[in-house]
Amino acid sequence: MNMKKSVFALMSSILVAGVALTGCGSTETASTTETPAAADKKGSAEQVLKVNLQSEPSTVDPALAEDATSGTVIRATFDGLTRLDADAKPINSVASDVKVSDDQLTYTFTLRDSKWSNGEPVTANDFVFAWLRALDAKTASSYAYQLFYIKNGRAYNEGKVKAEEVGIKALDEKTLEVTLANPTPFFLELTAFYTYFPVNQKVVEANKDWAMNADTFVSNGPFKMQSWEHKNSMVLVKNENYWDKDTVKLEKIDFSMIEDQNTELSMYDAGDLDWSGQPVSALPPDAIIPLKDSGKLIVKPKASTYYYKFNTERPPFNNAKIRKAFSYAIDRKSIADNIAQSGQIPAMNLLPESMALKPGGYFKDNDIENAKKLLAEGMKELNLTTLPPITLTYNTSERHKKIAEAVQDQWKQNLGVDVKLENKEFKVFLDDQNTGNYMIARAGWNADFNDPINFLEMFYDKKGGNNDTLWENPKYRELLDQVAKETDAAKRKELFTQAEAILMDEMPIAPVFTDVNAWVQNDKLKGVQVDPLSFIDFKWAYKE
């Protein structure tokens, strides 16, 4: 797909330490975006896509979504000012034009004629309302901090200024003016992220549960919701009111919600699904090698890290040495090679390969002797002779289960610690983390945009919407404040490196590996876009 020439030339690269952060390169071409001309050759194939989400979306409200499953549905049903292309570069979408001031602080978006699925016009005020709603502390948006790049966004979230003082203005129905707190080179990538999507003010204010039922759900994207049978299925159909409807070839997307990965793969083999695996679910670990050997497996690197998080306010993980002991006692290479098996790379740092600041990381993999030493020192500092019962929680998935079992065994063998495994349904799993009801939990982070701040800002403070570790550090926070104002690439990299070093020294998280997307798909399915950030977009998909 051709990128429209406008201010997006400014976004052609984001430099950190002089290296362009263009995301991970593709090892396959199966998911690249098809041109409209190619799509026109689809013939008479039934334009119905059948995909398994593996779990129920926690919400399809752009302001409240915080997970990849919800994001998949929202990206199909909503459209932002910009949308990402196959290389994760922003292109004009609801915005037909964007102008940026010389000081890089003011963005003026001109909106094209577009409509909501109920036929009402999408206006600049819909964006103002949506963004202020996400920023409002009463909304409890985990991603509110993504809007802190806007002038007074943080202050409004903290109740220090009024809504009128936030740098978002509808100059008229088709013109949106946004003023930033500091120059933000990735801002047009942010406007393609779901927290920045518009919502229909009348619909939202009329019903607090508008986004939980198909009959009240209103959106502005390529597809609209026809039905939602909770925990079972969801059906999306082509949105005839979408501004770019002629590009959309699929007539329907049938989402099933089956947790068992073996069942999903069996359904794919039987022709009942067109896709099996990431990024919408995952393949059974035991199927990876046979699928790879058969030549059917598609693998793409992604800007993503799989890790475990510690509840740092719950003993014994309120002690940094004990957290480090558990982290150092993990054999990451064994997990990557024997369980993940798709080219994952052991991680001794938080940032993925595409934006790594310190190649090789900040500690050694499977450093058992150091782990034993740190555990003993940490227990002494807490006046403990024995550890309290330890629980590791993961959400339902064969892959997560096998990784957790491996780590459980490693902690037993390497540290002599018994760990109980706890499997939870996805929504309960998320809710428990948000309320601090866990000790150690599985986690993963896919980049929302290609810059280290997207990973590191999660831990800016313990009140942060995605910081379930409850960890914070004043020096770390100070470094990120400096990053926000720094425009020199080399200085920015140095500040990031110092910050990540603090994070890895205090270890509120234990990185395991940088991840990849691995899946199989129907040979007749074309145009599904899986970009280097792991976002999946069905706008351009079709069946031959």
Spatial separation of the C-alpha atoms in residues 482 and 494, rounded to whole Å = 11
The letter for the amino acid at 384 is L
Angle at 535 between CA 529 and CA 539, to 5 degrees: 40
Question: Do residues 91 and 82 make contact, with C-beta atoms less than 8 angstroms apart?
Answer: yes
Q: Global pTM? A: 0.85
pLDDT of residue 37: 40
Of residues 4, 354, 67, the one with CA closest to residue 194? 67
3-state secondary structure of 379: helix
Could you tell me the two tokens for 440? 């150690």
Question: Do residues 321 and 327 make contact, with C-beta atoms less than 8 angstroms apart?
Answer: no
Question: Do residues 57 and 183 make contact, with C-beta atoms less than 8 angstroms apart?
Answer: no
Q: Where are the alpha helices (DSSP H) in 236-319?
A: 261-269, 288-294
Spatial separation of the C-alpha atoms in residues 482 and 37, rounded to whole Å = 48
pLDDT of residue 44: 61
Q: Is the peptide bond before 316 cis (omega within 30 degrees of 0)?
A: yes
Burial 477-501 (b: 16+ CB within 10 A, else e): bebbeebbebeeeeebbbbbbbbbb
Burial of 261 per CB tally in 10 Å (0-12, 13-18, 19+) = buried
Question: What letter does residue 389 receive in the DSSP assignment?
Answer: P
pLDDT of residue 360: 87
Spatial separation of the C-alpha atoms in residues 200 and 195, rounded to whole Å = 14
Q: What are the helix and strand counts (H, E) for the chain? A: 16, 23
Locus of tokens 């990538």:
189
Of residues 281, 265, 224, the one with CA closest to residue 55? 281
Angle at 263 between CA 343 and CA 396, to 5 degrees: 70
pLDDT < 70 regions, the chain = 1-44
Question: Do residues 354 and 450 make contact, with C-beta atoms less than 8 angstroms apart?
Answer: yes
Q: Which domains does the chain have, with CATH numbers?
A: 7-255+522-543 (3.90.76.10), 300-516 (3.10.105.10)
pLDDT of residue 6: 35
